[in-house]
Chains A and B, each alone.
Chain A
């Protein structure tokens, strides 16, 4: 299927980009420098190692997801390479999906390479092999896919500057939106406000539920039901965003 052709081509493009490699290398360097940070603390050094290292990998993968994503579709429209694709018998939805899956593959490669190196580093530093970190990476991957889908959405109709503002904004919102639960009791009696508020709450991406750093660092047991719920949430959310992107993209005239 020609969706695969687009996906693989997108992957090739991302991987031939120097900035991609730079981000991976810097991410790994930061993760490894967690060793220094851990020396500055009293008591639980392993905790600081994990906190700092996982945060570094998280941060740099998010950067890759956002900045590769927002350029993805925009560059094709801007450079008019998209004429060569859409004039062929390939549907517009296959184009968007191909771009998304290509980027998903790129992120997988980035995350796995950083993750494996960090795992080896942890093994050397602490002598223990924590399988739960793999679960953390899995949930992080879903969070990255949500961000990617959002950046592809904006990239299909907006310029890179606006796309990055919106995508970065939604990333931060995604990590704050859980606080809605803290004060939703204020809305008890106000029906209309309640509907509006809840709608906004449900539309915004809730990324914090995919963040299980706390659980990993504190060694609390994993609640598989909750994790399954979060994964399904992410899958549905990604699908919805991609469908929205396809709808918008389908209507586009390429002047």
Chain B
């Protein structure tokens, strides 16, 4: 699998998938037309409401489901080739593993599935167990693991083959705030090691903190895809100016609405032009500008706006 320059880590074009309800011949088109572009080394957040087709898309990438139409390439290799999955790590939604195995045995077994030598699997396993904080639970059978522990061992098994592309389906679900922070840190460190991470989530705050690119899926289609910074920069809603040293009367004269904060004025301007004219007004009247802050849309705002 040669890595060329300009090769995308994951590229999906025109993906379509429909399902037939068993007894009736009614078909449901789950994925209508999916295009996804994930660059190498970036963190891609896959976002969408329930039933939009996130898990279906991910299962198509991993060939657990066969697409009706479209192409999926992982580092340039078509996903229909087994070799394309050699450097892919996957953590499913609601993971469940063989409960009669211990944590370490699961990692060794997974290593063998990748045809990694037992010695190498063993050392990787120890490393990963330390990474996810399960090293003193490694000889405990999985049926005794709590949900959080299963999530963590799941993450470990997704990394056993030192993958270049890590696909995580709802990895933040069920984690407490500490767990979420730890996971965010791990994802960022994976990115630091040059890996590409593709994950789906509902928890927008987490996504916002770490993603480079966002793809929004609704009703089987990608409605928006783009770098987070671009999406948000286009969505600067307003500017908040905090200042003092101006006469109230001047603001009233220009019909500018304001609030009082301590003894300073707070004005929200709806756009760049209005903000600029306000700043000029303050400067002209020898006022004191304390701060000018753009109020960005959060990812949630962008998302909810898309839904309308």
Q: Do any CB atoms of chain A lie under 8 A from CB atoms of chain B in the complex?
A: yes
**Is there an interface contact between B113 and A88, defined as CB atoms closer than 8 Å?**
yes
Measured in the bound complex, the distance between the Cα atoms of B95 and A89 in whole Å is 19
Identify the closest chain B residue to A90 (Cβ).
B113
**Is there an interface contact between A89 and B83, defined as CB atoms closer than 8 Å?**
yes
A253-B65, A254-B65 known; A5 vs B112 contact (CB < 8 Å): yes
Which chain A residues border B62 with CB–CB below 8 Å? Answer: 83, 86-87
Which chain A residues border B96 with CB–CB below 8 Å? Answer: 79-81
A86-B63, A89-B83 known; A81 vs B113 contact (CB < 8 Å): no
**Chain B, 45-83, CB within 8 A of any chain A CB:** 59, 62-66, 82-83
Per-residue CB proximity of A82-104 to B under 8 Å, as 1/0?
A: 01111111110000000000000
Which chain A residues border B83 with CB–CB below 8 Å? Answer: 89
Measured in the bound complex, the distance between the Cα atoms of B85 and A9 in whole Å is 21
A12 within 8 Å of B (CB atoms)? yes
Total residues of chain A contacting the partner, CB 8 A: 25
Name the contact of B109 in the complex, choosing from A5, A86, A253 (C-beta under 8 A): A5
B157 within 8 Å of A (CB atoms)? yes
A1-B115, A80-B94, A255-B65 known; A13 vs B86 contact (CB < 8 Å): no
**Chain B, 73-126, CB within 8 A of any chain A CB:** 82-86, 88, 90, 92, 94-98, 100-101, 109-110, 112-115
**Chain A, 81-132, CB within 8 A of any chain B CB:** 81, 83-91
Measured in the bound complex, the distance between the Cα atoms of B27 and A131 in whole Å is 61
* Interface SS majority for chain B: loop
Measured in the bound complex, the distance between the Cα atoms of B95 and A5 in whole Å is 20
**Is there an interface contact between B114 and A88, defined as CB atoms closer than 8 Å?**
yes
A9-B98, A91-B82, A255-B65 known; A84 vs B59 contact (CB < 8 Å): no
**Is there an interface contact between A87 and B109, defined as CB atoms closer than 8 Å?**
no
A5-B113, A80-B94 known; A88 vs B100 contact (CB < 8 Å): no
A16 within 8 Å of B (CB atoms)? yes
**Is there an interface contact between B100 and A12, defined as CB atoms closer than 8 Å?**
yes
**Is there an interface contact between B98 and A83, defined as CB atoms closer than 8 Å?**
no
**Is there an interface contact between B65 and A83, defined as CB atoms closer than 8 Å?**
no
**Is there an interface contact between B86 and A89, defined as CB atoms closer than 8 Å?**
yes
**Is there an interface contact between B85 and A254, defined as CB atoms closer than 8 Å?**
no
> In the complex, how many angstroms separate the beta carbon of A103 from the nearest chain B beta carbon?
15
**Is there an interface contact between A86 and B64, defined as CB atoms closer than 8 Å?**
yes
Of A1, A12, A84, A86, chain B has the most CB atoms within 10 Å of the CB of: A84
> In the complex, how many angstroms separate the beta carbon of B88 from the nearest chain A beta carbon?
8
> In the complex, how many angstroms separate the beta carbon of B67 from the nearest chain A beta carbon?
10
**Is there an interface contact between B98 and A13, defined as CB atoms closer than 8 Å?**
yes
**Chain A, 1-35, CB within 8 A of any chain B CB:** 1-2, 4-6, 9, 12-13, 16
- Chain A residues with CB under 8 Å of chain B are 1-2, 4-6, 9, 12-13, 16, 79-81, 83-91, 251, 253-255
Top 6 closest pairs, chain A to chain B, by CB: A5-B112, A87-B62, A87-B90, A89-B85, A89-B82, A88-B113
Q: Supply 20 further A-B pairs (C-beta < 8 A) apart from A9-B98, A89-B85.
A: A2-B113, A2-B115, A5-B113, A12-B100, A12-B101, A16-B100, A80-B94, A83-B59, A84-B92, A84-B110, A84-B157, A87-B63, A87-B90, A88-B113, A89-B113, A89-B114, A90-B113, A91-B82, A253-B19, A253-B64
List 22 contacting pairs A-B, 8 Å CB cutoff, sorted by A: A2-B112, A4-B112, A5-B109, A5-B113, A9-B109, A80-B92, A81-B96, A81-B98, A84-B90, A84-B92, A84-B95, A84-B97, A84-B110, A86-B62, A86-B63, A87-B92, A88-B110, A88-B113, A89-B85, A89-B114, A90-B113, A254-B64
- Chain B residues with CB under 8 Å of chain A are 19, 59, 62-66, 82-86, 88, 90, 92, 94-98, 100-101, 109-110, 112-115, 157
